[in-house]
A and B are shown apart, each in its own frame.
Chain A
Amino acid sequence: MSNREIRYRDALREAMSEEMRRDPSVLLMGEEVAEYNGAYKVSQGMLDEFGPKRIIDTPIAELGFAGIGVGMAMNGVRPIVEFMTWNFALLAIDQVVNASAKMLAMSGGAFGNPIVFRGPSGSAGQLGAQHSQTFENWYANVPGLKVISPSNPYDAKGLLKSAIRDNDPVVFMESEVMYGDPGIVPEEEYLIPIGLADIKREGSDVTLVSFNKMMKVALAAAEELAKDGISAEVIDLRTIRPLDIQTILRSVRKTNRVVVIDESWPYGGISAEIAYRIQREAFDYLDAPVRRVNGADTSMHYAPNLVAAYLPDPGKVIKVVKESLYLPS
C-alpha cells in the first residue's frame, strides 16, 4: 500500500470524486460548491471534472434544495447535498426528518432515500451563538437516518464513500476547523463500514469516548494523563447512529471507568445514551459513575474567554478523569 499525506478536505473530495466516477447517478449540490469551488474548498476542481450537470450551485434556499435532493433520491438519483454548515441545515431539517428519514417507512418499502447530507458541524472560533452548534444527537434521535462524524482524513474518506454507497439517508458531519488537517491516506481504494468505532489509543485505567474534533481534546488529555501514570483508552465513535456499543462495552469491562467528551450541549446528549447503555449492560463492571465533558449548557457567546469557558479542553477532561479515579486533581 502506498500512503501519502492529504488534508481532511482533500479526503472528502477524493471520496466524492471516486464515487462519482464509479456511479453516474451520484451528484453534488449546495451553496458555492461549483464555481466558487466550495465555501471551504472541499469541492475544489469538481466542477471542472464533472461539469454543471453533476456539480450544482444552489441559491441560498436550504429547505428547497434539501427537498429537491430528497425527491431526486426517490427517483433513481443519489444526491450528495452539501450544507455550508449544519447550522443552516436547520432550515432544511423538515425535509431531512419528515421526508428523507421516513420515506421508506411511509411508502411500505416502495421508495427509499439514498442521499447524503453533509457539511461542517460545531464551533469554529468566535462565531457567536448561531454559527457554533453541534447537532449529531438531534439527527441520531431519528429512526431512518444514519449519522457519521469522523475525526481525521482517513476515516472521513472511507466513511464518506460508504455513506454515498449506502441505500439509506446518511447525515455526515465534518468540521470547519479540521478541513486543513493533514493525515495519512492510502492511494488505493478502501471503505470503512458504517457503524464501527475505532480505538485510537489503547489504555487500561479509563475509557475516553469521543468523535469529530473533540477527539483531539480526548487524545491530548490521554497524552497528559500518561505523564501522571494514568493509562487512558481513547475510542473514536466515528458513527453516531448506529452506535458501536460493543466496542465501548469491551473497553469498559477492561478499564471500569468512562468519560464521554462531546462538543454538543449536555441535555439529552450522546453521552446520556452511552451512559444508559453502559449501566444497562456493564453495570457490574463500573468502578465509578460514567462522566461526561460537554460544551456548556448555554448558547455560545462571542468573547474569546467565553468561547474558551464554553468548550471542552484537555484540562477539563483531566479533571473529570481524576475524579472518576478518585484521585486528587
Chain B
Amino acid sequence: MAGTKTKAAADKTAQFDKQQYLDWFTLMLRIRRFEERAGMLYGQQKIRGFCHLFIGQEAIAAGAISATRHEDPYISAYRIHGLGIAKGITPNAAMAELYGKATGCTGGKGGSMHFFSKEHHFYGGHGIVGGQIPIGAGIGMAEQYKGTDNVCLTFFGDGAARQGALHETFNMAMLWKIPVVFLCENNGYAMGTSVERSSNVTEIYKLGLAYDMPSASVDAMNVESVHEAITEAVARARSGEGPTFLELRTYRYKGHSMSDPAKYRTKEELEEYKQRDPIVQVVDTIRKNNFATEAEIEAIEAQVKEEIDACVEFAENSPFPDDSELFGDIYVQTDYPFLTD
C-alpha cells in the first residue's frame, strides 16, 4: 500500500451513511469549540501552563474514532484535548482538567498535556516528544500477549518522527508483528521548524518503508480518507499481520502553543488549508446529500455551544484537589514513607 492516498476535496458523494456524517460533524465541532474556548480562557489565565490546540486537525480524531472500537487503546502527545474528547473524555472532565480541578480527567494531576482515561482506553497525553512511540507499541504488544485482537493507535507529530525512538520501535514492531498503527500527524511544523528543515525525507511515510512496514500518506483534512486508511490498517493488525504507518497530512491553524506567534509561516499557507477545512467539508457533504436541514445543522451547533458553556461552568464551580494530593498517585503503595524533611 505504499503511496499517497488522497481524496479530492471536491468529491462530495456520500460514501457513508447519514448518521456517520452527523456524528463526524458533531464530534469535530465539539472539539473545535472546546479548543476555541480553551484558547480564550488561557488568555484570561483561567488555564495555565502549556496549552497546545488541535484546531485544524479534528478530522484525525473523528476518522480514528469511527474506524476503531472502544477497546482499541490510543496514545498520543501533548496536543491531546481533541483526541481525548473523541475517545470519550467528556468536555466537563476535559475543561476541569485544564483548570486543574479535582473533577478533571486526571483529578488536576496532569493538566493540558496529560489527559488520561482508563475507562476509555486512553493511554494519555505525553510531554516528551516521541516518548509515546515505543510505549504505544508496548500497549499493543500487551494486547497481543493477552490474546485480544485490540489494536493500539499510536499518534505523534512530524517533529517526533525525527527521534531515534521511532526507528527502534518500528524495527521491533515489525519483527514481532505488534498490533499497532503508527499515525504521524504531519501538520507541517515542529514548533518553528518546518518538515523540510528537519530532514531530507519530507514524505514521512517513507520512513516506514525502510522496515518493510506498510506505509502511506493520507489527506487528513478529509475525515473520510482518514477513516478509510485507519480502517484498513486496523484490519491488518487485528488479523495478526502487524503494524502500519500512516502519515496524516494536516495543519494546525494556531501557533504551536499559546505563546507562539507562528511567524515562520505565511497567511496564504494557512488560508490554503482553511479552504479545505475538515468541518466545512463534512457540512458540505451533509448539505449536498440532504442529510440534514439547515435547522437541524443549527440545532447541532446550538447543542455543542451549550455543552461547551456548561463545561466551563462545571470547571469554574469544581474544587481544586485537596492539598494532601501532593503525595497522591506517586506510588500505588498507600503508606509509602515519603521524605518530608
| Residues of A near any B CB (own CB < 8 A) | 31-32, 35-36, 39, 57, 59-61, 63-64, 87-88, 90-91, 125-131, 266-267, 291-292, 294, 296-299, 301-306, 309-310
Contacts and interface: CB of A to CB of B under 8 A. Distances in A.
Contact of B159 (A59, A64, A302): A59
Contacts of A32: 191-193
Given A57-B193, A127-B50, A303 B108 contact: yes
A247 B208 CA distance: 57
Q: Which of A131, A303, A304 has the most CB of B within 10 A?
A: A303
Contacts of B134: none
A128 B49 contact: yes
A32 B193 CA distance: 7
Contact of B264 (A35, A88, A305): A35
A302 B264 contact: no
Given A31-B191, A88-B129, A61 B164 contact: yes
27 contacts: A32-B191, A32-B192, A36-B193, A36-B264, A57-B197, A59-B162, A59-B199, A60-B159, A60-B163, A61-B163, A88-B128, A126-B49, A126-B111, A129-B109, A297-B340, A298-B330, A301-B325, A302-B109, A302-B111, A303-B100, A303-B101, A303-B109, A303-B325, A305-B321, A306-B109, A306-B325, A309-B326
B108 A299 contact: no
A59 B193 contact: yes
Contacts of B321: 301, 303, 305-306
B161 to A, nearest CB: 9
A64 B163 CA distance: 8
B163 A309 contact: no
User: Which bracket fits the contact residues of B?
Assistant: 35 or more
B323 A302 contact: no
Contacts, number: 133
Contact of B320 (A36, A59, A130, A304): A304
Query: 4 nearest interchain CB pairs?
Result: A302-B111, A303-B108, A36-B192, A303-B100
Nearest to A90: B128
Interface string B141-181: 00000000000000000011011100000000000000000
Given A32-B191, A64-B164, A297 B100 contact: no
Given A59-B159, A129-B109, A304-B48, 4 more contacts: A128-B111, A130-B127, A303-B108, A303-B320
Nearest to B323: A309
Interface in B321-341: 321, 323, 325-330, 338-341
Nearest to B128: A130
Nearest to A128: B111
Contact of A302 (B49, B126, B193, B330): B49
B65 to A, nearest CB: 25
B206 to A, nearest CB: 16
A126 B264 contact: no
A310 B162 contact: no
A152 to B, nearest CB: 24
Contacts of A305: 100, 320-321, 323
Contacts of B106: 302
Contacts of A128: 49, 110-114, 127
Nearest to B199: A59
